[in-house]
A and B are shown apart, each in its own frame.
Chain A
């Protein structure tokens, strides 16, 4: 069952990725990105990271991509797509990346070779993650720093938006 789910979500992610990269319309690419993120969330889930998976859906599928879709749908027409020639230029880079990934994959196989793989029953992760966030020896400091950073970003976004709105009445 888990295998099937893994393949299922991996297929969604892969298919979405391909469509995202190669579709002519940028809006379609954006929608495909949603599928990719959803597939990856499913992968997290099948691998036992349930909180991460749900957060991925909540924040990325339901939040970030919507803003992205806004930007894509409202500010441009389907212009500025890469011409096919540009893909050819990118080929060496992509090749290098692919080779690197293959190497990593090889490494993973090498490490796991000869070991007995046991499938653990996935446990709820939210308690542990929550503990780590408030544990001074855990991730308390990074968590707080990130919070402050996000707050700064939020205030900054409001300030920028305000400046642009100057002159028009505050609706």
Chain B
């Protein structure tokens, strides 16, 4: 508030337009949930912005300290609800590290497969809603068509459409069969064709490039200093992907895939278009990983034997702490858990990628226009369920 007063009293020009304070959210079509951004506007140009979060705070971390380890898995679904599989995965890995067990090989491959499927679904949402943010409503429906296929595929193995609770400490809930994998590879064939369609529809559209290139430029330094991760960081030219740099599942070690980084194709490195394009290319890389998973998946158990026994009584990990981070569609998701040997952890902390990525927003917005603000928020691809937890 002080900043605003300083700003208004600072104006001694003969002619000036009165500053307008605009409340973007919490109910606004393009804040992707309940984000509230307070904007100080000079005409169409944003002079200052204050990001306000917490409208979707559900005490997830505190809940984690009051429920058992297994009971918390479904809660992780509801953090980044667009990528539940990946959240399950990070939590399961954390608990496994605490217990010092490792999931069987087949389970690891299944995990990678479903995580990558979910990554595609999540990026499809990012792609579709980004189109809507910029006024192109059609790509959204195309994206949802393919996302629907993914959701149906995942429903077949987990029974749920969005909040799967499928990857659990010790392995995965159900085994997958060859018929299902055939369906997945059929989807992959289909998706690669659709992906080309998306590019003709939105990526190469002149107006779209005009709206996103050179907008919301996130420099490498700013991205690193604010702890940005995932596509947001990679679009700024930093080649950092946990799947490659700290492989947390066996398939990521063995599969071939590229890590797309921003190149500043249509403008400056780290602009909205780069972030968008990194996501688009990641979808294709995910398809590559899925294909290899289907090919190489070994036979075996889908759940660690010793864990099956443990499931009957509450898990009681030995005292200690564990931190595991995973490459989520939105960036690095980390769970930090401290156990004192009881039924539930005494400390359960989440490092949410959206939260860190959102922290750059206030630095990107000033000086841009209102339409750019929408483009920038959309390109960061935040999920408020994860920001507020």
Contact = CB atoms under 8 A, between A and B. Distances in A.
Are any A and B Cβ atoms less than 8 Å apart in their complex? yes
Interface of A: 74-75, 164, 169, 171
B18 A74 contact: yes
B17 interface: yes
Contact of B369 (A74, A164, A171): A171
Given A75-B17, A164-B13, A169-B367, 8 more contacts: A74-B17, A74-B18, A75-B15, A75-B18, A164-B15, A171-B44, A171-B45, A171-B369
* Interface of A (DSSP majority class): helix
Contacts of A164: 13, 15
Contacts of A169: 367
A169 B44 CA distance: 14
A171 B45 CA distance: 9
A10 to B, nearest CB: 38
A74 B17 CA distance: 6
B83 to A, nearest CB: 36
Nearest to B45: A171
Interface in B1-50: 13, 15, 17-18, 44-45
A26 to B, nearest CB: 14
A75 B15 CA distance: 8
Contacts of A74: 17-18
11 contacts: A74-B17, A74-B18, A75-B15, A75-B17, A75-B18, A164-B13, A164-B15, A169-B367, A171-B44, A171-B45, A171-B369
Interface string B354-374: 000000000000010100000
B188 to A, nearest CB: 44
B145 to A, nearest CB: 37
A75 B43 CA distance: 11
A160 B113 CA distance: 62
Contacts of B44: 171
B271 to A, nearest CB: 15
A169 B42 CA distance: 14
A97 B302 CA distance: 98
Contacts of B369: 171
A68 B305 CA distance: 79
A43 B318 CA distance: 93
* Complex A-B, nearest 3 residue pairs according to Cβ-Cβ distance, in ascending order: A74-B17, A75-B17, A171-B45
Nearest to A169: B367
Nearest to B20: A74
Q: Which of A74, A75, A171 has the most CB of B within 10 A?
A: A171
A6 B13 CA distance: 47
Nearest to B42: A168
A169 B18 CA distance: 19
A74 B42 CA distance: 11
A75 B367 CA distance: 21
B347 to A, nearest CB: 48
A75 B11 CA distance: 13
Contacts of B13: 164
A86 B13 CA distance: 30
A76 to B, nearest CB: 8
Contacts of B367: 169
Contacts of B45: 171
Interface in B276-326: none
A54 to B, nearest CB: 32
A26 B226 CA distance: 48
A166 to B, nearest CB: 12
Nearest to B43: A74
B213 to A, nearest CB: 15
A75 B18 CA distance: 6
A37 to B, nearest CB: 25
A171 B370 CA distance: 12
A146 to B, nearest CB: 28
Nearest to B44: A171
Nearest to B13: A164
B10 to A, nearest CB: 14
A171 B15 CA distance: 19
B210 to A, nearest CB: 13
